[in-house]
Structure 1
Amino acid sequence: MQSPIRILMLVFMSILVQANGAILDSRCYLEGGGSAESFLASEDMAVGSVIGKLRVNGNPSEDDEVGDINLSLREKDAPVKITPGTKDLVLVTELDKEGVKGPASIYVDVICDRRYSSDPSFVIPVNVRVTDVNDNAPQWVGAPYSLSLSEVTVPGTRILQGAKAIDDDQQGPFSTVEYQILPGHYSMYVQFLNPLDGTLVLRRPLDYETLRNFTVRLRAQDQGTPPKFSDTTLRVNIIDADDQNPKFLEESYRGELIPEANPTQIKIFPEPIKAVDQDEGICAPIQYSIVQSPESKYFRIDSKTGELSLARTLGPSELNNPVTVIVKATQIDNNDRYAFATVSLSRPGTHSDMSVLSFVQKKFTVRVREDVNVGSRILALPTNKPGKHLKYYITDPLQAQFFSIGALGELVLKKALDYEKNVKHNFEVWATDGVNNATAEVLLDVIDVNDWEPRFRQSHYEFTVGNEVVHPNDKPSDLIIGRLEAADGDRNDRLQMTLKGQYASLFDIDSSGNLWMHMDQTINQSIIHLIATATDSGVPPRSASVPVTITMDGVAMAQTSWPSSILGLFGFVVVLFVVVILALSFYIVRMRKTPRKSRNRVHSQAHSTVSSADLVTHEKDPSNGNHMNGNGVGAGVTMSNPINAHGGSGSSLSAGASTILAASLEREAQREREQRERENYTATVRSIVSRASAAHGCPDFDPEIDRDSIINTENRISPTTKKLNWQNGKSELMSSADTIGSAENNLTVYF
């Protein structure tokens, strides 16, 4: 039951409001005059936490004595609720910025009702924005990883480019993934190209004979605080490559000829001849042959089994001295992989120990890759006294730094080979048994291996394109803006440079490293970022990249040569402009020289005025020089300035045209002033002649002279015309002039 007093008070307030509207009901309005509410909530906020308090006027208390508004939500299944009797907005479901476990944002409508009022409900929109937290760890894509590598893979080769981890957090440090190799027994074999790229490269050379496979642990970690991470494994299986020569089971063999028992049989010690491929993963089949020598014609060998026998029955005098035969074992699939072994053959009862020491060949030739390991056995140097305690020497001390010879005559590598420094090694080997000496020549060819990556002179190239334009003859349409320098340590390797980036098509790099910009395309960027990559021609190819920054600072993008059509159009415009200027100048000059008739005519009324004393009045030139007045009875002479006659009607010239015409206009003005002086003199003389003729009644005087206009330019009066008919009465005029006028107005005219 509501209190009667409270009801009366509310009714009274309602009556007052309706009476004059002086009291404003602000219930359900937002504080500050807003129309909606906004809140921020972290996605890790616990369920039941208060998101915020609604800033709405009124009291939603359940106590009727205190409360005057009701708050509720329009949505029935909203992820938030309003605590009854309060303005608190409470979370009821889990939030997730990624929208997987819960809503990524909340939009609800709050209904506010005024108690004890018939006013409609108020709708207050409420927006809850969810902020991201580092709640997701990077997840590897396609993990765990496994790959197979050949043992001849060069260090620096990219062995895995598909390793990638994705973080579901929003863009920013929480989703930025860094990669690393966890410490372990084999972690030194691989590394990531850079921490932000999942590309793996090989760090150390592989050897199938010592390591068949290995496993490393990879970690993907975000940049949160604290960071979240996930680990996976990479298993590398090493594939055996054909990188080793075959090997005989024995370094040398002995054979006895037994012609009595079997004419062609040879008994081999300590075991039958046999060679195997040292690449166990390949185990290529072997074929056998005998190296050509003077004694090889007596023997033959089975190419598959290696069984050595006599080619024919020996005569009593043949092979009485021990001989040495060289057997060669070659891989069927690769003729460059082979090995030698010596077989010393003798007939029973011969004194093999008394033979002269000699190498089985005078010249040994071998080809070796430059990346062969130090300590490897390169070549066997057999003699005709195998098994004996012989001493070997290399006569060249420089070559002795690279090679040594073992007790059994095997050539061993002491120092790493380098194709870029020496492509061949040629030296002489000397052997002695204490009594006899023997020499042989060794020729070793080094096989090039692509063991150097291209290197740029600078780690970052920056170029600025200014107003200067350089156009060599070979590329007149392009602009050279700089040069990139790169080198490769491998001999005979050629470098090819390419550009990558959004605007790479606007530029080009030639074989010399010159960076060209195509002038026939428009560039609207002030700074352009590119990646320059240099790739060598080795096998396998190696490459290196550097960033290139190009600043477009007032670039002169215009072409140095214009098309003929544009030049023709420009020439036509120039000629048209000159013609217009000349026509305008001629018009202005003519207008100034041709006066209007209404102002430039000399008027004579009847005859010139004669003073009361029968004298010709003296005509005075006004101060401005524009009019001539004859003061007399009922007559006057007026002449306007022909220059001023135009007033402001002339065309307005531009500053350039005024400059061009300044000199000509100055000369024209001078001529016009001289013309006006002549015309004033002529008018005065005519006035005097007219008066004199009227006084003497001269019939020969032409009155048309007084009536006609005197034109300043086109109709000039010649000196012969000015004389007229009154020249004939020259003496009479002089006598008449002497008798006319008083002393003060007397005027004498001489002709």
Structure 2
Amino acid sequence: MVLRLIFSEQPLWKILIFCQLYSAVSRHSVIASNCDDGHDVFAKVKENSLMGTFIANLSFNAQPSSSNHLHLKLSGKDADWFYLEGRTIRLNSTSTRIIDREIHGSVLTASVRCYEHKALQAEHRILVEVLNENDNKPEFLQRSVQPLQLSELTAVNSVVFTVQATDADGDTLTYVIDETSPDARYFRVDLPNSGKVVLNKPLDYEIKTQLRLTLYAVETNTNEHYNTTATIIINVIDGDDQYPQFQPCTLLSANHSNRICANPLYTANITENEQDIVLDFFPGPIQAVDGDEGLRTPVKYTILSGADNGRFVIDSNSGEVRLTRRVENRLLIPTLRLRVMAAQTDDPLKYAVATVLVRVLAENRFPPQFSRSTYHGFVSERANPASLVMTYGNKLLILEATDQDFTEGFNPRQQYSLNSQHNSSQLFYITQEGLLIAKTSLLHPGHKYFLEVLHKTKTLHDLKKYYFSLSTSIFYIQFNVLITFSLYLFVHFL
């Protein structure tokens, strides 16, 4: 009745099309396909899952078999990650080929095709989400943990460098300083998630030129709290924060963090009427160095006071001081005092000042002389371990030298000694009064000993030396007076 009403009002061609469509639908409804009822697959699997892990079941009407001519086939980009076990999809992995979200991606895609009598009847998509597992430790970016250089003048509380680490699993990381690392006290991390390292205390190149800092990158949102470490080397660069220091430097404090030098007092001796000479100073030549060991900026020398109208001039580069005009009367001018400044060439405001004391001594015109060049002495065997050496007439052997530069030839600062190059010197001792003492217990009767006695005449600082040989030739050397002579000793029994 309904069809009669519809067809009575439609053109013939529409009626024919409707009948054809109705016939096709009716035929498929009657003959059902084994590939029917299939649908797309949406599943999940954990990364690192084992071979054969269940993925999903396909919802086709029948199991694939040769009897029903049903055949299923996997295809698509990631099809090799799966295999079919009947209508079940399982994971296809091995011990050497494991699904890794960070490598293979978060979604695997494939498709399953259903064939009947070798004819494709249906195709459905397979979408498998790979679930993340915490299977990766953090790793520092190498560019952020390379050795670096910091000036010792870097301000405290400033960010000096930033470290950065990544976690393939996307976990949240925090950065922590290893407090047991040698130089942890120099740094701190104020914002643990930022990786920004802050200078915590001043650097000092003169105390420490290299620092080592160990940091951790730690997972904070996982149960495992995986972490990694990196050690960063910080090379401290010298900054211009020290003043010149005259040498030798005498530290006022043993605390190297407060290195302050006491400038030495330089002393030198000149004699009356000497001129055009270079002064020889004690404890060493005038020399100043930049306190910044890593910079060692050159210094210039200047006489601030005491030059005495050009009597003294100083080499601005070497610090050498020259006497250009003589002192005629030491009684009127017994000492001269100079103040020498050493200033950095690049910053004259960085300077140091030292005091120089020059003593004027009387001219040494005469060398000391012994009354004779050869002495003979005798030692008698005694029970005592030591005894005085005698000479002819059973008199004490007394060695005396005179110096005509002193009243009545007596120099109160004279000294006697034995030349240690002679083995016999170990068997005797000489007093400063010229008495010779023998170690009797070590001497051999009838043996002859040869000694060489040195006489040294000293002024305030060993002004001059003179040498006498057996032939009484004179050798002149500055700053001390030295006499040698031969002494023959005989040991006999009384």
Structure 1 length-normalised TM: 0.38
Distance verdict in 2 for CA 1:317–1:185, change over 3 Å: closer
SS at match of 1:79: helix
More helix by share: 1
Out of 216, 221, 232, which is 1:219 matched to?
216
Separation (CA, whole Å) in 2 of partners of 1:244 and 1:218 = 32
Task: Report the residue type matching 1:228 in the other structure.
Answer: Y
Where 1:234 maps in the other structure, the secondary structure is strand
Q: Distance in 1 between matches of 2:343 and 2:119?
A: 106
Q: Which runs of 5+ in 1 are unaligned?
A: 1-17, 351-751
Q: Does 1:46 align with 2:50?
A: yes
Compute the displacement of 1:51 (Å): 1.3
Tell me the equivalent position of 2:175.
179
CA distance change for structure 1 residues 23 and 249 in 2, over 3 Å: closer, same or farther? same
Aligned-residue sequence identity (percent) comes to 27
**Secondary structure at 2:90's aligned position in 1?**
strand
Q: How far apart, CA to CA, are the structure 1 residues paired with 2:293 and 2:28?
A: 105
CA–CA distance in structure 1, aligned partners of residues 28 and 318 of structure 2:
122
Deviations, residues 140-165 of structure 1 (Å, cap 9, x unaligned): 3334411112222222232224x322
Q: Aligned pair in 2 of structure 1 residues 229, 71: CA closer, same or farther (>3 Å)?
A: farther
User: 1:232 is matched with which residue?
Assistant: 230
Change (3 A) 1:296 1:269: farther
1:266-415 equivalences under 5 Å are 266-292=279-305, 295=308, 298-316=311-329, 320-348=333-361
Distance 1:24 1:233, change over 3 A: same
CA 1:135–1:314: 2 relative to 1, 3 Å: same
Give the drift of 1:90.
Answer: 0.7
Unaligned 5+ segments in structure 2 are 1-24, 249-263, 364-494
- What's 1:122 paired with? 122
Task: Describe how 1:89-168 pairs up with structure 2 within 5 A.
Answer: 89-93=89-93, 94-98=98-102, 100=103, 102=104, 104-112=106-114, 121-143=121-143, 144-161=145-162, 163-168=163-168
- Of 195, 198, 203, which aligns to 2:195? 198
8 Å CA contact 2:275–2:326 kept in 1: the answer is no
1:449-485 CA-to-partner distances (Å, cap 9, x unmatched) read xxxxxxxxxxxxxxxxxxxxxxxxxxxxxxxxxxxxx
Q: Which residue of 2 aligns with 1:243?
A: 241
Task: Tell me the secondary structure at the aligned position of residue 101 of structure 2.
Answer: coil
State the match for 1:614 in structure 2: none
Give 1 or 2 for the bigger CA radius of gyration: 1
| Distance across 2 between alignment mates of 1:37 and 1:228 | 35
- State the shift of 1:111 in Å: 3.3
Q: Residue 257 of structure 1 contacts residue 267 of structure 1 at CA under 8 Å; is this kept in 2?
A: no
Q: Which runs of structure 1 show a deviation greater than 6 angstroms over 4 or more consecutive aligned residues?
A: 18-24
- C-alpha contact (below 8 Å) 1:137/1:229 kept by paired residues: yes
Closer, same or farther: CA 189–310 of 1 in aligned 2, 3 Å: same
How many angstroms apart in 1 are the aligned matches of 2:26 and 2:341?
Answer: 126
Per-residue CA deviations over 1:590-617 (Å, capped at 9, x if unaligned) read: xxxxxxxxxxxxxxxxxxxxxxxxxxxx
> Which whole-Å CA distance do the structure 1 matches of 2:313 and 2:233 have between them?
49
Aligned length: 316
Distance apart, 1:286 and its partner CA:
2.2
In structure 2, what residue type is equivalent to 1:134? N
State the secondary structure of the residue aligned to 2:142: coil
Q: In angstroms, what is the RMSD of aligned CA positions?
A: 3.6
Pair 82,309 (structure 1): closer, same or farther in 2 beyond 3 Å: closer
Q: Per the alignment, do residues 241 and 120 of structure 1 end up closer, same or farther by CA in structure 2, a change over 3 Å counting?
A: closer
Partner in structure 1 of residue 409 of structure 2: none
For residues 240 and 28 of structure 2, what CA distance do their matches in structure 1 show? 103
Q: What residue identity is the alignment partner of 2:41?
A: E
The 2-side partners of 1:38 and 1:236 are apart by 53
- Structure 1 or 2: more strand by fraction: 2
Change over 3 Å in CA distance of 1:133–1:346 after alignment to 2? same
Q: Write the deviation string for residues 672-691 of structure 1: whole angstroms up to 9, x where unpaired.
A: xxxxxxxxxxxxxxxxxxxx
Following superposition, the deviation at residue 80 of structure 1 comes to: 4.4
Check the 8 A contact 2:246/2:354 in 1, yes or no: yes
CA drift of 1:202 comes to 1.8
**Kept after mapping to 2: 8 A contact 1:95/1:104:** no
**Contact 2:272–2:362 (CA under 8 A) maintained in structure 1:** no
Name the CA distance, whole Å, in 1 between partners of 2:195 and 2:26. 78
Instruction: Evaluate the alpha carbon distance shift between residue 75 and residue 258 of structure 1 in structure 2; reply closer, same or farther with a 3 A threshold.
Output: same
Higher relative contact order (CA 8 A, sep 6+): 2
Q: Is contact 1:220-1:229 (8 Å) kept?
A: yes
Q: Compared with structure 1, are the counterparts of its residues 322 and 166 closer, same or farther at alpha carbon in structure 2 (3 Å cutoff)? A: same
- 1:212 corresponds to which letter in structure 2? T
Query: SS in structure 2 opposite 1:335?
Result: coil
Cα pair distance change 1:106/1:247, threshold 3 Å? closer
* Alignment partner, residue 204 of structure 2: 207
Distance 1:239 1:181 in 2: 23
CA contact (8 A) 1:28 1:69 kept: no
Cα distance change of structure 1 residues 129 and 175 upon mapping to structure 2, 3 Å threshold: same
Q: Structure 2 vs 1, CA of residues 81 and 73 (structure 1 numbering), >3 Å: closer, same or farther?
A: farther
| CA displacement at 1:194 relative to structure 2 | 2.0
Following superposition, the deviation at residue 45 of structure 1 comes to 1.7
Q: How does 1:622-701 map to 2 (within 5 A)?
A: none
Q: Which amino acid aligns with 1:345?
A: V
1:415-442 deviation per Cα after TM superposition (whole angstroms, max 9, x unaligned) = xxxxxxxxxxxxxxxxxxxxxxxxxxxx
